[in-house]
């Protein structure tokens, strides 16, 4: 048995060697995020950790060096600000972890990038930084600070305060001048998830906005006053861009040899439409504010990972390099290898795996024998300035879909019972087909049909497609579980065509339902019904969505909404859309249109 397993491993690795010889670049970033909790409290332990990383042929370390407003290394600058000079755990141990990591890593030819958690500075308490500078707090719309997620309360700094950028500039310059590091890596350089906290409503900034636009941002209704809300989002996003511009210029001037990088959320722009993190990284790329981006293209499903990289390539300037972020938490070795291959094919200049504590000895050995069988040099700052090649599936896409698909929802005087049985009433509906893969390869291999009807109470949606029941993949059977990870269909609704907001409704092939919205996330729960029927390998699904759950009033004849439909086909590893979106789902500016017929 052992001989058989060993043979499989050898066969895989030989196959990988043949493949990699064709696609592996001369330089390739093979990085690992090391979180502060993983750093040992002894010098020997730290050196062993670095050697363990080296054994898997990683060539770069991103070490968490500023967390919850404190540093792992002694900081005279922080001390001068009346703040702790070093995290107490390392100070009490009498060690400087960063110094040891840099020494050992450079001895083994690994780059070291210091990783700063920027605006997230307090866990269950404001922390030292906000206790010293409470005026920097990210104030929510309702006047509170921080937000609750699960059992924890998180506190953030708001980048709108001018003193914040000077604080971080001095912090970066200190570490860059005192340690022979290779780069500075910024994380949490964003606003909190707006479904958890709509943040940065400092009174002085709200007053300035009111003077210019005549409305206090705290009184804006996002759904009823979308134009004002867009301007407020643009204002906050510009504060963040101004912050990045200042920091970038300071570092380029004082530390031009360091590689300046940033972890970014794949989605969330254009910021005035889809606020997310208000992190306009395509604009940052155009301005050349970073040497390299590390998008957090995290997914446990390699095809979805591929889609996220297509999204990155679509909107990231070809002159801007990026390393693909891989979510290593509970990810199988095979999936890690797949995602590294996908990253190479997407012309990414490297990968960074999150994170050190989740990689077992078995995984490290697997990486060394397979995907990382070679240890190329990581790109230098000069090599990162060379324009990169784009993969062939990348096509120019506007933020706004000018020629988006259209469908008519016919009025019916007969209510539809959403049991999955398609009655004759559906024969007159305008059935749609031609779903395309969000990963860019063209049409889906299996035909999917969708149609709409409506009456004075409900919007009805029907799906119809072929599927072998033995191939159906599902794990969710309860309400509000992650049914989108199963074989499923998804409906996105943007009432009024705001191109900003949406409702998401998901049904898997055993009838489990999930819903959420762009403003409330999974906290939004609608009272809608769905039914599924399978017969002779043909699946039909019906969904009834009360207008009272979405808009309170039914649409008028001729009214238009934004809409999109998706199918998740797991056995075939296909994710397809009715109105094409490159790589991702929730992009209301790229939705199609439904017109409600005149009754």
Kindly report, residue by residue over 308-319, the tens digit of the pLDDT.
Answer: 999 999 988 777
The pLDDT of residue 273: 54
The pLDDT of residue 390: 86
- Please check the confidence at residue 102 and state whether its pLDDT lies above 60: yes
Mean pLDDT over 565-578 rounds to 97
Give the whole-number percent of the chain exceeding pLDDT 90.
84
Given pLDDT bands bounded at 50, 70 and 90, which one contains residue 487?
very high
The pLDDT of residue 401: 67
Sorted by where each starts, the structural domains of the chain and their CATH numbers stand as 22-120+156-191+221-385 (3.20.20.80), 406-596 (2.60.40.1190)
Closest CA to 60 of 352, 344, 261, 325: 352
With contact defined as beta carbons under 8 Å apart, do 110 and 57 qualify? no
Mean pLDDT over 364-372 rounds to 98
- Residue pLDDT, tens place only, 53-93: 999 999 999 999 999 999 999 999 999 999 999 999 999 99
With contact defined as beta carbons under 8 Å apart, do 74 and 86 qualify? yes
The pLDDT of residue 312: 93
Beta bridge partners of 409: 596
Q: Strands 458-466 and 538-546, how do they pair? A: antiparallel
- Please check the confidence at residue 323 and state whether its pLDDT lies above 80: yes
The pLDDT of residue 194: 85
With contact defined as beta carbons under 8 Å apart, do 578 and 494 qualify? no
Q: Residue 190 gets which letter from DSSP?
A: S
Closest CA to 31 of 383, 387, 376, 382: 376
- Residue pLDDT, tens place only, 491-517: 999 998 888 889 999 999 999 999 999
The pLDDT of residue 294: 98
The pLDDT of residue 485: 96
Q: Taking CA 522 as the corner, what is the angle to CA 518 and CA 528, rounded to the nearest 5 degrees?
A: 95
The pLDDT of residue 500: 83
Given pLDDT bands bounded at 50, 70 and 90, which one contains residue 5?
very low
- Please check the confidence at residue 142 and state whether its pLDDT lies above 60: yes
The span from the CA of 146 to the CA of 356, in Å, is 28
The span from the CA of 135 to the CA of 117, in Å, is 19
Q: What is the mean pLDDT of the chain?
A: 93
Given pLDDT bands bounded at 50, 70 and 90, which one contains residue 275?
low
- Residue pLDDT, tens place only, 193-225: 888 999 999 999 999 999 999 999 999 998 888
The pLDDT of residue 50: 99
The alpha carbon of residue 468 and the mean position of all alpha carbons in its chain are separated, in whole angstroms, by 32
Closest CA to 198 of 207, 206, 210: 206
Mean pLDDT over 423-427 rounds to 97
With contact defined as beta carbons under 8 Å apart, do 326 and 336 qualify? yes
The pLDDT of residue 525: 96
DSSP-derived secondary structure for 396-420: ---SS-TT--EEEEEE-SS----SS
CA distances from 443 to 104, 314, 390, 402, 465 (A): 50, 19, 21, 21, 14
The span from the CA of 534 to the CA of 467, in Å, is 9
- Please check the confidence at residue 227 and state whether its pLDDT lies above 70: yes
446-451, long-range: CB within 8 Å, 24+ apart, which pairs? 446/569, 446/572, 446/574, 448/489, 448/567, 448/576, 450/407, 450/565, 450/578, 451/407, 451/426
The span from the CA of 81 to the CA of 90, in Å, is 20
The pLDDT of residue 496: 83
Comparison of pLDDT for 377 and 391, the residue scoring more: 377
Q: Strands 503-508 and 488-494, how do they pair? A: antiparallel
Given pLDDT bands bounded at 50, 70 and 90, which one contains residue 20?
very low
Mean pLDDT over 403-413 rounds to 94
Given pLDDT bands bounded at 50, 70 and 90, which one contains residue 27?
very high
């Amino acid at each position: 048995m052992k001989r058989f397993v060993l043979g499989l491993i050898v066969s895989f690795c030989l196959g990988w060697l043949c493949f990699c010889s064709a696609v592996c670049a001369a330089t390739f970033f093979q990085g690992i995020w090391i979180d502060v909790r993983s750093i040992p409290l002894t010098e020997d332990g730290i050196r062993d950790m670095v050697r363990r990383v080296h054994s898997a042929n990683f060539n770069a370390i991103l070490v968490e060096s500023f967390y919850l407003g404190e540093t792992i290394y002694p900081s005279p600058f922080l001390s001068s600000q009346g703040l702790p000079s070093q995290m107490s755990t390392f100070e009490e141990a009498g060690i400087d972890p960063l110094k040891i990591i840099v020494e050992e890593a450079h001895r083994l030819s690994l780059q070291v990038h210091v990783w700063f958690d920027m605006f997230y500075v307090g866990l269950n308490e404001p922390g030292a930084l906000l206790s010293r500078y409470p005026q920097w707090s990210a104030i929510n719309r309702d006047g509170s600070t921080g937000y609750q997620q699960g059992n924890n309360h998180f506190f953030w700094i708001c980048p709108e305060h001018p003193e914040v950028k000077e604080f971080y500039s001095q912090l970066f310059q200190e570490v860059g001048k005192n340690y022979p590091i290779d780069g500075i890596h910024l994380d949490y350089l964003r606003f909190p998830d707006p479904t958890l906290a709509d943040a940065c409503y400092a009174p002085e900034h709200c007053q300035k906005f009111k003077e210019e636009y005549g409305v206090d941002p705290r009184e804006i209704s996002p759904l009823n006053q979308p134009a004002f809300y867009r301007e407020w989002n643009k204002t906050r996003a510009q504060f963040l861009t101004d912050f990045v511009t200042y920091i970038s210029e300071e570092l380029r001037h004082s530390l031009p040899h360091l590689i300046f990088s940033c972890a970014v959320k794949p989605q969330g722009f254009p910021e005035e439409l889809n606020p997310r993190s208000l992190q306009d990284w395509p604009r940052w790329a155009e301005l050349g504010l970073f040497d390299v981006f590390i998008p957090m293209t995290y997914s446990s499903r390699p095809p979805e990972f591929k889609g996220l990289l297509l999204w990155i390539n679509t909107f990231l300037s070809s002159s801007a390099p990026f390393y693909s972020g891989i979510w290593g938490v509970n990810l199988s070795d095979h999936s890690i290898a797949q995602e590294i291959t996908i990253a190479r094919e997407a012309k990414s200049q490297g990968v960074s795996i999150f994170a050190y504590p989740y990689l077992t000895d078995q995984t490290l050995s697997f990486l060394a024998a397979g995907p990382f069988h070679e240890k190329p040099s990581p790109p230098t700052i000069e090599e990162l300035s060379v324009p990169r090649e784009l993969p062939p599936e990348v096509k120019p896409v506007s933020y706004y879909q000018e020629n988006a698909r259209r469908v008519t929802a016919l009025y019916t005087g007969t209510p539809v019972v959403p049991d999955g049985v398609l009655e004759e009433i559906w024969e007159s509906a305008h059935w749609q087909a031609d779903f395309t893969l969000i990963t860019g390869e063209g049409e889906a291999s299996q035909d999917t049909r969708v149609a709409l009807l409506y009456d004075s109470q409900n919007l009805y949606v029907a799906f119809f497609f072929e599927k072998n029941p033995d191939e159906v993949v599902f794990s969710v059977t309860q309400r509000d579980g992650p049914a989108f990870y199963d074989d499923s269909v998804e409906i996105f609704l943007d009432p009024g065509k705001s191109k900003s907001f949406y409702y998401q409704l998901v049904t898997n092939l055993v009838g489990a339902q999930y819903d959420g919205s762009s403003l409330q996330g999974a906290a939004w729960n609608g009272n809608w019904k769905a039914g599924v029927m399978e017969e002779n390998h043909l699946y039909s699904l019906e969904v009834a969505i009360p207008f009272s759950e979405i808009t309170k009033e039914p649409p008028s004849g001729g009214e238009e909404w934004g809409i999109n439909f998706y199918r998740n086909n797991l056995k075939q590893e296909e994710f397809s859309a009715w109105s094409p979106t490159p790589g991702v789902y929730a992009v209301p500016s790229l939705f199609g249109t439904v017109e409600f017929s005149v009754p």
